[in-house]
Amino acid sequence: MKIYNLILLILFFFTGSQTVSPQSKKGDLPVIDFSKQYPKKEILLQDIAESEYIPLETTDDVLLGDRLVLSGISDKYILIHEPWRGNIFVFNRNGKIYSHFNHKGQSGREYAWIGDAGTILDEKNEEIFVCNQSILVYSLKGEYKRTLKINTVESYSKVFDFGDEALLVYDDVVIDPGLEYKTKKAPYRLVSKKDGSLISVLDFYFPKRYSIRFAEIVEKGWRPTYMFYTESMYHGQDLMIADISSDTLYQLSPPNKKLIPVLTRKPSVHASEPRNVWATLLTTDKFIVIGTILLDFNKGGKIPRFMYEFETGEISKVSFSDAEFKDTWSPGNPPAMGKNMNANLIQPSSIINAYKKKQLKGNVEKFIKTLNEDDNPVVRIIKFK
């Protein structure tokens, strides 16, 4: 099974108590033609961005494991969780531990584990949403506050933060043998952060939906096999949204909920078998990077990346190199954070080695002398110019 860290983005309109329609846009939308041979462009990351490094505090009772998810960075906090262990860590923006808790259990105020939908940081309301059989809401210190009766495991749901009052819930294609008929044609809904009640169903109808999973038959039944994992693509508070079953990419912005078409693609995702789907990997105010992958579960391979530059309309096939770590740089799986930013976790040994080779820039001088290889990871925030 080959797993790729790609981004699933969502296409939707609102119905129910409110209806949101795409905003009209004069002229034709920009088109990315994936069958075309665009000029190649290699970009040095340091030419378009600068890095900030935040070492996460290491204490006897705050030791982060290997399987970590960096799920949110706000002006004040950094949120990290361990899916199977159930540990949740909240750090201040300077890397000092603010709180940590684990409510793994079977009571109504606990979670069996943290599901694929992960955790969501709501700085304004000072809450953390933990997604599993239900969405449990805790304070930043870990005190239980309430439960939203939304099962994010049953339909392989994804949950995204959307403004101060709502969460966006996406229900994936049902691949369970014999239950495929349960797949929703309109799988997106907006729910209340307060009580989980339905605000609206997103009014986009998919007559044919595709999935990044399939049911693999094994000796004792079946198991889901992933071609790649998917997440949302945030651009600050906005969502850059494109469903793998759609040919148009949109931007959705709270609180006015305007849905604006950004660009479209050809050939159509419906034009070939296996499907050649797309996903947004990185969005800044200046450009957007989109990857494509063939939904062929028997093949792997590199993921072509295309850059569309908003000001000039230039399209290129792009790759990124990283001078600080002497490697290629691949955007993908960023946490929810501010505009024109990307972030990931880096092991201290990599920081130390790069510093010894005089490759690092930024603020590493402030902490490098006290950083040990056994310490907790370092958060690298990439800020695009």
The reported pLDDT for the residue numbered 264 is: 95
Helices and strands (DSSP H and E) totals, the chain: 2, 28
Under 8 Å between Cβ of 72 and 79: yes
8 Å CB contact between 365 and 55: no
- The β-bridge partners of 381 are 52, 343
**Strand residues in 227-373 grouped as ranges (E):** 234-235, 238-241, 248-253, 258-266, 276-283, 287-294, 305-309, 315-322, 327-328, 341-346
Give the CA dihedral 79, 82, 88, 93, nearest 10 degrees.
-20
Multiple choice CATH, 31-384, 2.115.10, 1.10.3470, 3.30.9, 2.120.10? 2.120.10
Give pLDDT, residue 25: 46
Q: Which residue is associated with the tokens 């949740």?
A: 88
Rounded to 5 degrees, φ, ψ at 369 are -70, -20
How many CB atoms neighbour CB 4 within 10 A?
Answer: 19
DSSP one-letter string for 72-88 = EE-SSEEEEE-TTT-EE
Select from 215, 244, 249, 245 the least CA-distant residue to 231: 244
Supply the pLDDT for residue 232: 53
pLDDT of residue 202: 73
pTM of the model: 0.88
Strands 315-322 and 40-44: parallel
Q: What is the pLDDT along the chain (385 residues), one digit of tens a residue?
A: 333 333 333 333 333 334 344 444 434 899 999 999 999 999 999 999 999 999 999 999 999 988 899 999 999 999 999 999 999 999 999 999 999 999 999 998 999 999 988 999 999 999 999 999 999 999 999 999 999 999 998 888 889 999 899 998 989 999 889 888 999 998 888 899 999 999 988 777 888 998 888 888 888 888 887 766 555 578 888 888 778 898 999 887 887 777 788 999 999 999 988 899 998 899 999 999 999 988 887 776 678 999 999 999 999 999 999 999 999 998 877 889 999 999 999 999 999 999 999 999 889 999 999 999 999 999 999 999 9
- The domain limits of the chain are 31-384
- The answer to whether 280 touches 242, Cβ cutoff 8 Å, is yes
109-146 burial by CB neighbour count: b if 16+ within 10 A, else e? eebeebbbbbbbbbeebebbbbbbbbbbbbebeeeeee
Q: Give pLDDT, residue 300.
A: 65
Q: What is the pLDDT of residue 131?
A: 96
Among 243, 129, 267, 261, smallest CA distance to 186 is for 243
Residues whose CB is less than 8 angstroms from the CB of residue 320 and which lie 6 or more positions away in sequence, other chains included: 42, 43, 44, 45, 328, 329, 330, 331
